[in-house]
Structure 1
C-alpha cells in the first residue's frame, strides 16, 4: 500500500519554511534549462501502477504545469544558488506526490491521477528504453516503496546529498513524516550503483528518450469497424434509394477492413516452421534459419499461441523492448520456432521471422495470467559467428544463453583478467547454459564477462543477441581475449545500441621520450545490425599499466568508416606528461602512415607512423597524416 503525502500546507507555513517569493522569469528559465532533469524526477516519484506510458505523459505534464499563472507563492533556497530551479522542483515534487495520494470512495480524481490533457498522443504507446537487469530490479524495488519514501530515495540519489536536506524538502512538499520516508528509503535493498544515482541516470528512467509502438491495433480496429458498420448501414439505406436509378458507385471493390490471411496464419501455432535437427550441417550459410526447435515445451500449443498473440497485439501490461532500428510489429506470416521451455521462473519462447529474433517470456503460472515480456532484436543476415547464441533469461545479474547447434564448447572468461583460464560452462542437451554473470549495467567496471563459444568470443551488451568480439587489423576475425584487458570497459556505452560486433585493433606501439617506455594505441570499432550508427574510439595506454588498467580515450568518431575494412587506417594523438614533468604532444598512426604533421598549438613534421613534440599543458594541436599511397588520414576526434 502506498503511504502518501498529506495535503499541502497553508501558504503562510510554506513562506516560513522555504522563504520569499521569486521572479517567475527565473523559474521559467530554470524549467527550460533543467527540463529533462525535472521530468525524470517526476517520472520516478509517480506511482508505478500508472504504467510506463501514463507515467511518461504525466511526468511531462507535471513539469509543464509547474509554472503558476501568477507570481510564485514561495521559493525554496537552492543548494547551487538557483532558487528558480529549487522552486520548480518543489512544485513538480508536490504534484507527483499529490498524484499518488489515495482518494476517497466518492472523491473526484486529482489532476495528476487523470490522463493529462497535454501532452497527448493517439495510436502510440511511449516508454523509456529498457536498461539491464539491475535497472529492472531497481524499478521493481522502487515500486514497493511508499510515494514519500520513493521521493526520498530519488532526491537523495539525484538531487540532495544530506538526509537533512531531503527531509526539509519533503516537509515543504507536504509529507507528514519525512523522517519515516527517509528511513524506509534507507532500508530498501537495491542493486549496486542505485544509491549513487548511476542507475537512476540510465535510459531505463529517462522519460525524455523514448521508444514508441502502436497500441492494440486489433482493439482499435474493432472500434473502427463498429463505426464503419454504422456508416455502412446508412449507406445501404442510401443505396436502396439509388437502386431505383441503377447506381452502385463502388462496383466490385472488396469491403473495408478485409481480413489479412497472412496475419491470421502468423497467429496459428500449428503453422510455425521448424528446421530439421541437422539442416545446419548442409546449409550454405548456417544462421538462425537453420536452428532446430529445442526445449521441453515445443509442443505446448497453448504457450505458443499466447506467445504469437502477444507478439501480434501486446497488451498494456506487457513490457516490450526493441534494439534501435528494429521494428516491433507483428510477423508478416508464420515464424520459425527456435525454442520453447522453462528457464528459471519463466516460460520462454524464441521465434525468428528472417529479420528479427523475438523472445516471449511469461511467469510460470501455467495459464499466461502473470507478467509477460516481449523483446525484439535485429538479426537479419546472421551467420555462424553472429548467430552463435541468444539470451533466454536474466536473473539477478546472471544470464542464460541458448547456444547454436554448431557450438561445440562453451566457457566463461573475464576480459579484464587475461591471465586467468577460461571456466568451462555447462550446457544441457538443448544447448542451454548454466547462469553466468553478465557485465555490470553501471560504470562499475571491475570485471567484464565474456563467453568463449568454440573459436568465437562474444559478450552481453544488454540485448538478445550477444555482440561478437574480434581483434587484429581491420577485416581480421581473431578472437583473442588478451588485447581486451585495457579496453573492455569502453564497451559499456554500447549497451542497448543494437551492436552486432566490436573489433579491437592495436594499431601502434610508440617509444616515448626520455626513456619512459613504450605506449600502446588502440582503435575499437562497433558495427550495428542496422548498418548505420557505427562508432570508433581511439585509446592510449601509457607504459607500466597493469593488465586491468583502462586505456585513456583520446578520440571518437560516429558513423565513420575509420578503423574498418572500408578505411583501414588510424590516427590519434593527445597530450602526455613525462615522469619528469615535461609535457609532450603525442601522435600515432597505423603502419601505412608514412609521416605526421602538427599545427596550431604545436608545430612540427616527423617521418614514420609515430611522433612527439614538446608542448605546453594546455596546447591544442591539429594533426594530419600522409599515407603510403599519397592519401591523407585525419585523426579521430
Structure 2
C-alpha cells in the first residue's frame, strides 16, 4: 500500500467496516469481530494509489468469502469505542452485503451511482439502477437526506478504542467465573452458539412485512433448525465447495429429516438484486456432504426440489399448490399436501421426457403487507439442478384459461422454450384468428426468458391444443419489454404454400414487410409466400423478408421471421 493510501487508512477501514457490519454478528457489541475482518480486507487490498487500493478493497469485499473467524482472547483493558448506530448506520445494516458496499461508495466515497456500478462491475452484475434502489432504501428507512447520512457515517471511526471500565459493580465470584469460562473455551478452541460462521436463521414473520417477498425473506423451517452443529456442518461444507461456494453469508431455508436423511437447504446472499444460489446438504448413515448447488433464475421465491425425493420446498407466501401434467389436453389440477414447508412426494412417473421432464404447479401468491393475492404458475423438474421457471402472462384476464394452458403445453411439450436454463418465462398473445387455406384457429404468442438477461424473445404460432404450428420466429422485445410495443413474425406452412404471419401490440400503429414478398402493410399481417414443395417443409429455403414495426411515438424496429 503506497504512502497516499496509508494516510487514508481510516477511510479504507471505514469503508470495509460499514460494508461488513450487518448488525447480526455476536461480537458486534464489542466490535472486535467486524473490525478484525475489516482490517484483514484492507491488508489484502493492493494498488499504486488510493483509488487503486480502494478498487482492490472493493474486489476483496465483493468476491472473497469471509475468513474463518478466530477465537479471540478477552481484552481486559481496551475495547473499540463503538457507539450505538444512528439512523443511517441502522438502515445500512438492513441491506445485503453488496448493497452496503455500493451505498458506502456513493455516500461516503462520493461516487455517483454510475461510477459505483462501474467500480463494482468487474466483479458483480450491477447497474446504476441497482445502486439507486439501495440509496433509496436507506433514504426511506433513515428519514435523512444524503448530506446528513454522509455526515453521520464520516463521523464514525471504527479504529477508535477506549479503556475498558473496571468491573467494580460486579461480584468478584461472577468475574472469576466468567474469566475461567472464557479461558476454558479458548483452550478448547470453542465458542458458544451464535458464532460468526453460523448460517442466518430468518424469523417467521419477516416476509409478512413486505408486499414483494423474495428469497431473502424466506424463514427457516423444519424440525432441525435448532441443531446448531448440523447447520454449521452444512454451511462449512458449502464454503469448502470449490466449484460453487456461497457469496456472502449463508441462510437456512429448511432443516429436517427427510426419508431417513438429515437435510439442510441453504441459500447465499449475493446482494443487489442478483439471484441467490441454493445448496442442499445431506447426512446419511455412511455419507455426508453438499449434493447439489443451483443458481436460481431470479431472487423471487420459488419451489425448490429437495434432492431426488420428489418433494418441493414451498415459501410461506405460496399456498394451495396443485399439480398438472403438461401432456394433458386440459389441466387436471391435483392438490398436493404441504407440511412444514415441504410438499408430499410427486409421483415420479409424472415426469415424461417429451415434456422436458417438467410438470406444472399452480399456487396462490399471498404476499404480506400491501400485496394482493394472485395466481401463479411454475414449472418444476425431476432434477434438483434444473431451473424451476415461473410463468407470467402479459395482460392475462380471467377468461384466458384456455390460452394459458395451451401456452404452458407449447412451452414444455412443443419446445417453444428451452426450459433448462431459461429462468422465468413471460408469455404474451399478439393475435388469435383463422389461418388461410383451411388452417383452422391459431394464436401467435411470444415467449421471453429471464435468463440470460436481455436475450431476444421468440414468436411461435400454436393451435388451441398447444401444438406448435411453426418454428420459432423473431420479436422486437425481451423479458422486460412492454407488451404494447411487442411485435412478432413467423413462417407457417399450410398444405399448399408458406405464409408470413405477423402481429403486434396496440402501441404499434402498423407493420410493413420489406424484401422478397414485396411491401404489405397492416396489423396483423397474413402474407402468402412460395409454394410448399417437399415433404419436409422446414428444410426448404424461404424468401428473405423483414417486418418493420412503426410505433405511435415514431420509433421503428425491424423483425426477422426466422
Q: Which residue of 2 aligns with 1:601?
A: 516
Whole-Å separation in 2 of the counterparts to 1:439 and 1:538 = 31
Whole-Å separation in 2 of the counterparts to 1:538 and 1:379 = 22
Tell me, yes or no, if the aligned pair for 1:346 and 1:361 is still in contact at 8 Å. no
Q: Which residue of 1 aligns with 2:488?
A: 571
Q: Does 1:526 align with 2:472?
A: no
Q: Does 1:281 align with 2:220?
A: no
Pairing 1:108-123 to 2, within 5 Å after superposition: none
**TM-score calculated relative to the size of structure 1:** 0.48
Tell me, yes or no, if the aligned pair for 1:601 and 1:619 is still in contact at 8 Å. no
Q: Which residue of 2 aligns with 1:293?
A: 220
Q: Which residue of 1 aligns with 2:144?
A: none
Runs of 5+ in structure 1 lacking a partner? 1-259, 321-327
- CA deviations on 1:35-72 (whole Å, 9 max, x unpaired) are xxxxxxxxxxxxxxxxxxxxxxxxxxxxxxxxxxxxxx
Of residues 452, 463, 469 in structure 1, which corresponds to 2:362? 452
Tell me, yes or no, if the aligned pair for 1:474 and 1:564 is still in contact at 8 Å. no
Whole-Å separation in 1 of the counterparts to 2:519 and 2:282 = 64
Change (3 A) 1:613 1:550: closer
Partner of 2:482, secondary structure, is coil
Tell me, yes or no, if the aligned pair for 2:520 and 2:527 is still in contact at 8 Å. no
Q: Which residue of 1 aligns with 2:457?
A: 536
- CA deviations on 1:290-315 (whole Å, 9 max, x unpaired) are 22211122122332222122112137
Change (3 A) 1:406 1:474: closer
Tell me, yes or no, if the aligned pair for 1:392 and 1:464 is still in contact at 8 Å. no
Of residues 274, 280, 291 in structure 2, which corresponds to 1:360? 280
Runs of 5+ in structure 2 lacking a partner? 1-63, 71-193, 271-275, 365-374, 533-540
Change (3 A) 1:422 1:566: closer
Deviation at 1:582, TM superposition (A): 4.2
Pairing 1:467-486 to 2, within 5 Å after superposition: 467-473=389-395, 480-486=404-410
Whole-Å separation in 2 of the counterparts to 1:608 and 1:464 = 39
Q: Does 1:435 align with 2:345?
A: yes
Q: Which residue of 2 aligns with 1:62?
A: none
Change (3 A) 1:441 1:610: same
Q: Does 1:552 align with 2:470?
A: yes
Q: Which residue of 1 aligns with 2:179?
A: none
Q: How many residues align?
A: 347
Change (3 A) 1:626 1:270: closer
Whole-Å separation in 2 of the counterparts to 1:351 and 1:447 = 25
Q: Does 1:377 align with 2:298?
A: no
Tell me, yes or no, if the aligned pair for 1:388 and 1:404 is still in contact at 8 Å. yes
**TM-score calculated relative to the size of structure 2:** 0.53
Pairing 1:223-622 to 2, within 5 Å after superposition: 262-265=66-69, 268=195, 271-283=198-210, 285-314=212-241, 328-333=244-249, 335-344=250-259, 346-355=261-270, 356-365=276-285, 369-370=287-288, 372-378=290-296, 382=299, 386-395=300-309, 399-417=310-328, 419-428=330-339, 430-436=340-346, 444-445=354-355, 448-454=358-364, 455-460=375-380, 462=383, 463=385, 466-473=388-395, 480-489=404-413, 494-497=418-421, 499-514=422-437, 516-528=439-451, 532=453, 534-541=455-462, 545=463, 547-556=465-474, 561=478, 564-565=481-482, 568-578=485-495, 581-617=496-532, 618-622=541-545
Tell me, yes or no, if the aligned pair for 2:220 and 2:252 is still in contact at 8 Å. yes
Whole-Å separation in 2 of the counterparts to 1:419 and 1:474 = 18
Whole-Å separation in 2 of the counterparts to 1:526 and 1:261 = 31
Partner of 2:527, secondary structure, is strand
Deviation at 1:615, TM superposition (A): 2.5
RMSD of Structure 2 on Structure 1 (CA): 3.8
Change (3 A) 1:358 1:475: farther
Deviation at 1:431, TM superposition (A): 1.5
